[in-house]
Structure 1
Amino acid sequence: MVDRKTVAIKGGGRIVLGQNVHSEAKWDITQALHGEIADFRIYWNGDTWELEVRTVEEDAVAQMVEKKPKGYPIGLASWHTTADGCGEKTPQYLLTLCNEDSFTCSDGSCIKIDKRCDEQVDCLDNSDELSCEIIHVPLGYSVDLPPPSLDASSLNLMIDLDITSVRKFDLVGFMVHIDVIQRLTWRDARITYSNLKAGYFNNRAMATGEVWRPHVRIQDGTFSPTNVITRSEIFQVNREAPPLEDDDTRTGEDRLYDGAEHRIRIEEIYTVEFMCQFGLLMYPFDIQTCVFYMNITNIQDFILANGGANFTGERASLEYQLLDQQMLSLEGSRAVKICRVQGGTASSWADYLFSLQWCNFSAD
């Protein structure tokens, strides 16, 4: 009984071979690999491997650029084409014996697809950890345009803050410095992701100017500029749906994911230095409220989803302790809308008031 192996040619189609083929097999000059597609074969021409397809319109021939006389042309390789209708003259084709749940190393060996881009080398040629960018933007993508609406509604955008410390509380200088972890989360249907793992942490990418992101302007309580010192920022993607169907016209075997079904998040760590107009008439029996405004400047309309503000640092200082922190949405008139960000709806101007309240220990 003939052992029939299925060879997938990525960039072409699926070819069923009638030989017992494996990646370490020695070549036989008398043997050609014939597929069940009419007039298709791969054969050794005495110098290199040649792929030949005969059609009514024309004959298409491609020769493997790399000389590989000691084995079948399994794996990723460049082929030089001669047919006029083939477009690219030196495309890459992947000939693989691996099943659909596997990844083909460039040398033709197989590993589990889950090991692709897992930050551990599994292929002997390291090819499983190459080209591991998770964010792919299409031709014509504009970073100046916000993501399109998916269902004729506004963009769902989540803003949440973690204040990790009060770096400086200067009563004499009327200044407050705080350290913040800011997370902005949204979906962009124009983007395609690849090789996503479970959770945000495993799907990290360096912040890039190729992807649209909300621009946040921070002002103090008098709407004056603040000093924002960025410490770090990173893009993260949360896998929330199955991958797209495989496409054999693509050379790669990466699992692709639709941007409309997966949230992208940018996490930024920064220090914001802003002025607070302290009211010291009742000092030292006083309670101070400091605010800063966050304005999204590159989008006019969106729906705020489950945002909020948390404080994870030390609330007590030498004179004061932090009583409360909250984020409030503002109307276009900049009047405070009395509702917390959680479950609230942002105005069309996308303004937010972030309020910090301190009390002097003498006021207890």
Structure 2
Amino acid sequence: MKMDAIIAIVACRTLFFHAHIADAIRVLSFNSDGQQRGDTWIRYNTSVDVPRDYTLCVRFNIKVFRILTAVIYLFNVRDFDDDPISFEVYFEKIRTKYGGYGRFYPLPSNLATNKWYHYCQVRDMENGEGRVYLDGQLIIQERTNFESKLEKREVFIGQDEYQPRNSLSGKLSQVNVWGQAISPDLISQLANCKVNQEGDVVNWSSVWELSNVEDEDVPTEDLCRSVSHGRVTVLLPLLKFREAVRVCKGIKGVIGIPGNTEALRQELAFFKNNENCERQWAGISDEAAEGVWYDPFSEKSYNTSEIYFRQNNPDGDKYQNCIRMNEKGLEDTDCHVHSCSACHTTASTTWTLRGICEEEERMYYLDLIPEPLAFRGYGEYFIEQTGDSMWTWYNTVTNVTISVLSVKDLNYPIGRRTWEVQTDVCGQNKGLRELTLTACTKSEFTCTDGSCIPFIKRCDLKFDCGDKTDESFCQIVNFPGDYRSKLPPRPASNEALPLSINFTMDTLNVDTTTMLMSVSYNLRITWFDNRLTYNNLKLLTRLNTLSLEEVEKLWRPKIGFINTDDIQNTAVDQDAVTTVLRRHPEYVPDLSNPYEVEIYRGDTNPISTTRKYFTIYTCNFDLVLYPFDIQTCILQLQILSASTEYLVFDPEDSFVEYLGPRQLVEYGIGTIDLRVENSTQYSHLKVEVELVRRYGYAMLNIYIPSLTLLVISYITLFFRPSIFDVRVMTALTALLVLATLFTQVSASLPKTSYFKMVDIWLLFCIMLIFVILLFHTVIDLKIDYRGVFNTSSTMDAGRGSDKLLSRGGSPSLNNVVTTMKVNPINGVFLPDESEKYYHDFFRLKQSILKMDALTYILVSKWTVFVIFGVFNLIYWGTLTVSSGLMYSV
């Protein structure tokens, strides 16, 4: 591009100095009708030298967004394509070139039409960084090595190589360039109109060459807010009250309720020159409750005294429930009478045409033109009324009609309607297509009539729209055409897909005899499927529940329960609940869908399926320490869908919990752990349940009874030695009872080839009673008196001797002799010497017998006691160290 070429292409005029008006700023308008032209531009009156560090600021207001909107360029005079400094606007991004470096930068939010923005770009060579500010806020800061050339530059605004499709359509003001990197504080003050400092390289008050632009002075305050502030009024034709409310809500406006004479006059002034509107609605009625006036827009209620009624009104009782405006005040009237109304809406409202197929987002958005009602697109589209009941949507650049709408009920294209597409768009054929023209924001849902409800009420299982369309088309999963439900998802990292397991146990029941554990539990499996996308995910997970038809199309992991008696695995059926968890808040609005849809990614929002199971798992118990044992039962799960190359359990995001009682009939629940093994061919997951035996039952029914029997047997050692039958029968009875107890205990436990601690205890008790019986036998042998006494006196003496022996005393031979009657041997009395010899022998024999009995009785008592004590010390000591005797659950 050369200077003479510029002069030859366009006609220029020079303005030497534009006087600055107090509290007003010069504003230039480019292509204000929205058309694309190649001869609308301005140029600085002279070339400039831009130093290595600089700051460029401009205030801009876009009327129509192009594919690329050319704003400002500082061209190298020698070569326009070499080292440019420029600023270009797109709908959702900007493009900044610092000279030698530049690229696209996303914006925090999309730009809007008819709104002023303040833009500054800073090149700071000393710090090696570029910065971009929008409305005084830093949005881009990056370090880079600039390659800037100190060349003469032309400042050109509004055109990019005179291509009409890129021409600026909008307004500009306060274009300034400083030969330094100005401070962020000064940039903020410039953006907020606190100062009006101009640049030392390029300043807005200097002379500019203008071509086909409009020049005006705008109050400074209007530059610091959107020029579309305030409201616009759409005049609605003759309609019934409910229809007028419906249309006005669709426009996202309100019908006024004058509260005084001045407000009433302002409302009536809108229809001053309209002969067809002799009656005008006020936006209130008492149809629901007589005397209670309800505003359908603000949802507030008023009493009659709060409304500016005409004298002697209201007077229509239940037959006149709406209000019309009269110069003398408001008066009630029939709601079915057709009247006009003034619908007031915000001028900056952005309209969206949903359901069309466009690659560029800007093409979906429009502005409302109030008089006559029409819609001008952010891009090239325009919607206007072309007949009594016909609306046309066409492209202003190509002048091609895209679609038409024939309105049968209300003559407005607002809301969800069926249009007739007359041109192939984005590969979609001609024909009828449902489109939605709405003023609802991204956080709202559009009902068929155009009214808005909060988007969180969309598909929340209750009707909120009057037409109930908020609960329509609530499908959550979007399946791509090449989706295969037999193939597992493959993460972008090409690694195995992790499955998260949530194992929540409700009840446990353990049968020691069969070594089985019955578990009632909820098993939740969670995974990501990056092939899918989801619609309208809610924070409340239960609202993201998939239908059975959707579930059947999904890939679902199959997990087997390994240590069971039969073949069991997970199932996804009508008893399973499958939901999508909204973990990532980011979404993309699907503007091509007439039913507002938010698209969430499948690789950041997982699928979760939950089902309740009742499974009987086999356990391998080691009963050596029974009944003071601690058992571990393992619930083993294995992925069956694919090997570990494709699917693994996620050890970080998997967990187990137990919600049931901690104390069971026979066991107490100890620690519960979850372990993952991904090193084998198929991934395994083990839930280890620690079971601590509750030994109270065994103590009450085994140890205390057996100990009682053992004590009874031991007490027999203290019986009189002469009552041998009593001693033996008591010990034998205890032995028999103990043997029966041993048999019952053995029958209630699994048969094992090893001894259990309870077996050792019972066998010990039996053996100890056997030892006691042996002692009784030996003691009885030692005190046998057969052949020594054969008279009653002798028997009495024997009993006396027994008593003495039982008391530990010594029988007196003299006492015995004095009470005995001795018979002669062979009828002959012994001589005195023989008799004396016999008595000495008998006394010696009795003394020997007495000492042997005492020794054996004493030895038996202490022997049994020591054996019992040593055994218990070893027995209970072993249990204390290696069992659950001292375990606290």
Instruction: Give the TM-score normalised by the residue count of structure 2.
Output: 0.35
Deviations 1:47-94 (A, max 9, x none): x53434367596444344xx5343312111222334456415221111
Closer/same/farther in 2, CA of residues 285 and 161 from structure 1, 3 Å limit: same
Relative to its length, the structure with more strand (as a share) is 1
Per the alignment, residue 138 of structure 1 pairs with: 480
Per the alignment, residue 541 of structure 2 pairs with: 200
Name the CA distance, whole Å, in 2 between partners of 1:155 and 1:290.
Answer: 29
Per the alignment, residue 71 of structure 1 pairs with: 411
Structure 2: which amino acid aligns with 1:79?
W
Answer yes or no: is 1:11 the counterpart of 2:355.
Answer: yes
Query: Secondary structure at the residue paired with 1:209?
Result: helix
Per the alignment, residue 324 of structure 1 pairs with: 671
Per the alignment, residue 653 of structure 2 pairs with: 306
Per the alignment, residue 750 of structure 2 pairs with: none
Indicate if the aligned counterparts of 2:575 and 2:611 stay in contact, CA closer than 8 A. Answer: yes
Per the alignment, residue 554 of structure 2 pairs with: 211
Name the CA distance, whole Å, in 2 between partners of 1:196 and 1:235.
Answer: 13
Query: Secondary structure at the residue paired with 2:592?
Result: coil
Quote the offset at 1:225 in angstroms. Answer: 2.7
Name the CA distance, whole Å, in 1 between partners of 2:574 and 2:381.
Answer: 61
Aligned match for 1:355, one of 666, 688, 697: 688
Indicate if the aligned counterparts of 2:560 and 2:570 stay in contact, CA closer than 8 A. Answer: no
Answer yes or no: is 1:182 the counterpart of 2:536.
Answer: no
Closer/same/farther in 2, CA of residues 16 and 281 from structure 1, 3 Å limit: same
Deviations 1:196-249 (A, max 9, x none): 222534433345122222211111178x53487989321233323333333433
Query: Secondary structure at the residue paired with 1:181?
Result: strand
Structure 2: which amino acid aligns with 1:17?
L
Higher relative contact order (CA 8 A, sep 6+): 1
Per the alignment, residue 94 of structure 2 pairs with: none
Larger radius of gyration: 2
Name the CA distance, whole Å, in 2 between partners of 1:266 and 1:152.
Answer: 24
Indicate if the aligned counterparts of 1:111 and 1:123 stay in contact, CA closer than 8 A. Answer: yes
Indicate if the aligned counterparts of 1:231 and 1:269 stay in contact, CA closer than 8 A. Answer: no
Name the CA distance, whole Å, in 1 between partners of 2:563 and 2:430.
Answer: 56
Query: Secondary structure at the residue paired with 2:482?
Result: coil
Answer yes or no: is 1:43 the counterpart of 2:376.
Answer: no
Structure 1: which amino acid aligns with 2:524?
R
Per the alignment, residue 598 of structure 2 pairs with: 255
Deviations 1:161-186 (A, max 9, x none): 111101x4333444321111112222
Considering only aligned residues, what root-mean-square deviation do their CA atoms show, in Å?
3.2
Instruction: Give the TM-score normalised by the residue count of structure 1.
Output: 0.78
Aligned match for 1:161, one of 495, 500, 503: 503
Relative to its length, the structure with more helix (as a share) is 2
Per the alignment, residue 288 of structure 1 pairs with: 631
The residue correspondences of 1:233-272 to structure 2 (distance < 5 A) are 233-272=576-615
Query: Secondary structure at the residue paired with 1:90?
Result: strand
Per the alignment, residue 818 of structure 2 pairs with: none
Name the CA distance, whole Å, in 1 between partners of 2:413 and 2:543.
Answer: 34
Name the CA distance, whole Å, in 2 between partners of 1:330 and 1:126.
Answer: 51
Closer/same/farther in 2, CA of residues 303 and 171 from structure 1, 3 Å limit: closer
Structure 1: which amino acid aligns with 2:659?
T
Structure 2: which amino acid aligns with 1:11?
G
Structure 1: which amino acid aligns with 2:459?
C
Indicate if the aligned counterparts of 1:181 and 1:268 stay in contact, CA closer than 8 A. Answer: yes
Answer yes or no: is 1:274 the counterpart of 2:612.
Answer: no
The residue correspondences of 1:87-98 to structure 2 (distance < 5 A) are 87=429, 89-98=431-440
Identity of aligned residues (%): 25
The residue correspondences of 1:76-155 to structure 2 (distance < 5 A) are 76-83=416-423, 86-87=428-429, 89-155=431-497
Closer/same/farther in 2, CA of residues 278 and 10 from structure 1, 3 Å limit: same
Query: Secondary structure at the residue paired with 1:205?
Result: coil
Range that drifts further, 196-205 or 318-327: 196-205
Name the CA distance, whole Å, in 2 between partners of 1:193 and 1:187.
Answer: 12
Indicate if the aligned counterparts of 1:232 and 1:270 stay in contact, CA closer than 8 A. Answer: no
Closer/same/farther in 2, CA of residues 151 and 135 from structure 1, 3 Å limit: same
Query: Secondary structure at the residue paired with 2:504?
Result: strand
Range that drifts further, 277-286 or 130-139: 277-286
Quote the offset at 1:15 in angstroms. Answer: 3.0
Quote the offset at 1:6 in angstroms. Answer: 4.2
Closer/same/farther in 2, CA of residues 43 and 61 from structure 1, 3 Å limit: same
Deviations 1:133-170 (A, max 9, x none): 3332222211222222123433232212111101x433
Quote the offset at 1:125 in angstroms. Answer: 1.3
Per the alignment, residue 27 of structure 1 pairs with: none
Structure 2: which amino acid aligns with 1:193?
Y
